[in-house]
Amino acid sequence: MDQVTNAKNASSNWNASRIGFWSSFLAATFSIVFLATAALGGSGLGILKLPWDPDIPDAFSLLLAWSFLIMTVCLHQAAPEEKKLGSQIGLSFTLLYAAIVSIVYFVIITVVTPLIQSGRTDEVRLLTFNTSGSLMQSLDGLGYGLQSLATLFAAFAFGGSRIARYAKWAFVFNGVLALPILLSYAPLVVPQPYYTPFLVLAALWAVSLPLATVMTAMHFRKSSMN
């Protein structure tokens, strides 16, 4: 009976590692493409125009959320029993993150952008993404703050190999950005000159999240080969 149980657990962990590799690889890819397309938009180089900006960056952000969720599920599945509490908490925060940002981006793509294009901006003014303070910006900030908290707790799922240790610290690095991320999305609450430092710290997410997902892909790749 023990041999059968061990065989089932080994098969389950192998499947989790294989799916975890692809989901973390996609999460890394989507995060990098999101950052690149966001830089091409109106808040960056201004190359992408409406509707491509914000629809293209938001679409990749949506895909990032879904692939990140699957990655976190696989982390929890593959985690040793004594580490599952941390991975379960991380998964719980990930579910909240994915749900919130999915609503934000889907509404912007399917409702806000089309109505702005048709000249009906006043009808969706409350739902437009305004970096000076808006409902959608606040929800987006909450989502990414929760994503950082998810990695902070999910970091405890790693252990053993050198790659796993690197992935763990990459998750911690992303996790400690939760507070500056949340505060950087609150320009109406955080007064100057305190707001700018939080904004600068939050920008480190552009490094920490791709790094964390790349290291996770490497971790899963190594696990699937054992």
- Between CA 17 and CA 1 the distance in angstroms is 24
Q: What mean pLDDT do residues 162-173 have?
A: 96
* DSSP letter, residue 108: I
Cβ–Cβ contacts within 10 Å for residue 133, how many? 12
148 is written with which tokens? 């950082």
Which tens digit of pLDDT belongs to each residue from 85-143? 999 999 999 999 999 999 999 999 999 999 999 999 999 998 998 888 899 999 999 99
Contact status, residue 84 vs residue 162, Cβ threshold 8 Å: no
Q: What mean pLDDT do residues 214-218 have?
A: 97
Chain-centre distance for alpha carbon 22: 15
- Between CA 151 and CA 218 the distance in angstroms is 16
Q: What are the φ and ψ backbone dihedral angles of 129, each rounded to 5 degrees?
A: -90, 105
Contact status, residue 154 vs residue 20, Cβ threshold 8 Å: no
pLDDT bucket at 3, cuts 50 / 70 / 90: very low
Q: What mean pLDDT do residues 186-194 have?
A: 90
Query: pTM of the prediction?
Result: 0.92
175 is written with which tokens? 């996790």
pLDDT bucket at 12, cuts 50 / 70 / 90: low
